[in-house]
Amino acid sequence: MTTTAETGAEGVRWDMSPLAPGEEAMKDRLEGAVADASAFVERWPADAVATIEPARLATLLGELAALRAARKEGEDWAMMLTWTDSENPAVLDVQAWVNDRLPLLDEALRHFELAWLSVPEERTEALAQDDAVDGERHYLDSLRRFGPFMLSPAEERVLSARDASATAAWKSLRDRTLGALATTFDDGTGEREWPLSDLEAARRAHPDRDVRLRAQLATNELVEPVFPVLAHCYDSLVADRLAVDRLRGHDDPMEATNLVNEIDGRVVEGLLSAAEAHAAVGQRWFRAKSKLLGLEKLDVIDFQASALDAPLLSWDDAHRLVVDMFAGLTPRLGTEAEAFFAGRRIDAEPRRGKPNAAFCLWPSTRVPGFVFLNWHGQLRDLLALVHELGHGTHFGLATQAQSDNSFMPGLTVAEIPSTFAELRLVDHVLATDEDLGRVLLTRELDQAVGVGFLATAFVRFEQRAYALRAEGQALNPERLCEITETAAGTVWGDAMTDKYGNSRLFWASMPHFVHERFYTYAYTFAFLLAAGLLARSHHPGFPERYERFLAAGGNASPEELMAILEVDLRDPEIWNDGFSVMDGWIDRIG
Ligand SMILES: [Zn+2]
């Protein structure tokens, strides 16, 4: 076990004061925003929006941006407290206090969006073209994409009013059912009570194969008895989503997700087919990895286990490596990355009760962003750090250039800079320290196979599940196990065995399918495009284009954003570069 003292991340905690100077100040800010929200709804009734002039629309959008900023600041503040101080009962009170107020702000945001959608399209088009709302053109135009699928304002209100019981309750029942599971287990350090989440981590990545195997069997034993409850939660959510789709007029269960992501369904299908056509690349890595591990054949229990031993990195070395990499991309990105360290905007110290996760939050254009992770000195922590700072530097540039309505890109594009930062770090380390670089490459390959291929298989699993449910077949545990196993099997091919029933658990253990739908293709999308950028990133002119892409934030469609980087999303060949990059890596390890 690594201790924090060895890695130097001890005491590396957030200074939250740039976001939240204190509890009273935050509560005052949020209360003020709630009052502003109801004044906003009164000041801008739907009929006033229908006849609004460009200059007034600019004023309205400024007010809307301020509400959005206050909402996100409150939400992120409560979340940051929860994630760093979850055992403090006062934090739960703050969370509840904030949660009670967020819907009041959401109502105002929704009020404008519904009003805007009920204005005739010729009128909104002309308004969005006006110079007065220059920075919000994409936001205004792109809202229209939901128009054809909207119900009447009264129906929309009814739908969102029943969300808590119709969807949130199933999600939390699923999470609570799994969260309550625990069993006694011994990883070699003595028998103790293990929550499911710890077992999950051990079965995936424990360096000792025997521990992984036993953790897998213990997980099976723990989860199988609750299969009926989990399947019922999923079945109910799928049925509900299909019912709402019918009302809205979506004829493909993926359409709602594609709409949010602003991605054409044909682009997604092209991406999925390309991943399936290149499954042999992933299987080549499984064979290479089985050699590194001295196994005849890899099993799914080895899928995420380290192929090569890595030295532990100190926090200071990681800091230097990561900032050097960003500075090598462009000096401005180096400055943005350094600001996270200098401003104490990273919480890296592992502590009791701190969840095992990594994320980057950037609440609004008025405050800085923050990164959360657990630094144990392992290479996966280094990749997590650089990934989150990839988000952080992106949001840093975007918040300087865009408004609160427009700085945040959709999920597919948002994951590109974070993935690209990981890949550039691998390149950077390979150039300076071949041994460390090779180990890092094996970690990145594991990740690449997960997002490049398995994430695609998950989409196929979901498509099959929605199709079965639409035909009137209930999603019972047997069916769900069978279709996940089949989907994952296309990734493993004959290069990997699944002797211990790992794949059949995916539907039950992954939160993605329950909390969202068709969430995982965004990872494939981002990985393949980021890998494609890697070779190009050494060409002249790339740094300027890349900064422009980052600064654009969400103020353009994915197609327009990728065009800044000279990538044409309609070209079916764009995915291939990513697979070539993976092939090259396997050669280098081989
Ligand atoms: Zn990310």
pLDDT, position 1: 42
DSSP labels for 537-581?
TTSTTHHHHHHHHHHHTTSS-HHHHHHHTT--TT-GGGGHHHHHH
How many angstroms does the Cα of residue 396 sit away from the middle of ligand 1? 15
Encoded tokens for 77: 């503040």
pLDDT of residue 503: 95
- Distance from Cα 388 to the centre of ligand 1, integer Å: 6
Output the pLDDT for position 531.
Answer: 93
The pLDDT assigned to 2 comes to: 42
Distance 248 CA to ligand 1 centre (A): 30
* H or E element in which residue 192 lies: strand 191-195
* Placement of tokens 């054809």 in the chain: 148
Contact 495, 540 (CB under 8 A): no
Residue 528 is encoded by which pair of tokens? 């393949």
Contact 254, 518 (CB under 8 A): yes
| Distance from Cα 289 to the centre of ligand 1, integer Å | 25
Distance from the alpha carbon of residue 448 to the mean position of ligand 1, in angstroms:
13
For residue 384, report the distance from its CA to the centre of ligand 1, in Å: 9
In angstroms, what is the span from residue 360 Cα to ligand 1's centroid? 8
pTM for the model stands at 0.92
Sign of CA dihedral 211, 214, 217, 219: negative
* CA–CA gap between residue 77 and residue 469 (Å, rounded): 39
End-to-end C-alpha distance for the chain, whole angstroms: 30
Which residue positions in the chain have pLDDT lower than 50?
A: 1-4
418 CA from centroid of ligand 1 (Å): 6
Which pLDDT score, from 0 to 100, does residue 176 have?
86
Domains of the chain, earliest start first: 23-170 (1.20.140.70)
pLDDT value of residue 4: 41
The per-residue pLDDT for 313 is 92
Please give the distance, rounded to the nearest whole angstrom, from the Cα atom of residue 118 to the centre of ligand 1: 35
User: Distance between CA 289 and CA 297 in Å, rounded?
Assistant: 9
Q: Ligand 1 centroid vs 516 CA: distance in angstroms?
A: 16
